[in-house]
Amino acid sequence: MNKSQLIEMIANKANLSKKSANNVIDLFIESVKKNLVENKKVTITGFGTFSVSSRAARNGVNPQTGEPIVIPATKVPRFKAGKELRALIK
């Protein structure tokens, strides 16, 4: 499912226009992004938690030359599925 399909599904189920459904999805995405940039968690009970995780620096290999390189430390977004969502997937 892509974003336009999600918009159409939400618009149909919530009896909204596609433009309104798109605005709702965009606001949700922007809210999650804003909180992650501020290093805050976003928890949606029954669905999951969006958070920021730190990755330590590590050694790697340049695939073109085979030379060892150092991959710098970084922060990455994470999503951990909630208990109810995990139960549905089994």
Q: Tens digits of per-residue pLDDT, 34-67?
A: 999 999 999 999 999 999 999 999 999 999 999 9
Residue 86 belongs to what domain range?
41-55+72-90
45 and 10, same domain (yes or no): no
How much is the pTM?
A: 0.81
**Residues contacting residue 46 through CB under 8 Å, at least 6 positions apart:** 82, 83, 84, 85
Phi and psi at 56, nearest 5°, equal -70, 155
pLDDT at 90: 79
76 and 35, same domain (yes or no): no
Q: Is residue 65 part of a domain?
A: no
36 and 17, same domain (yes or no): yes
Average pLDDT, the chain: 96
CA distance 56 to 75: 9
1 and 16, same domain (yes or no): yes
Domain total for the chain?
2
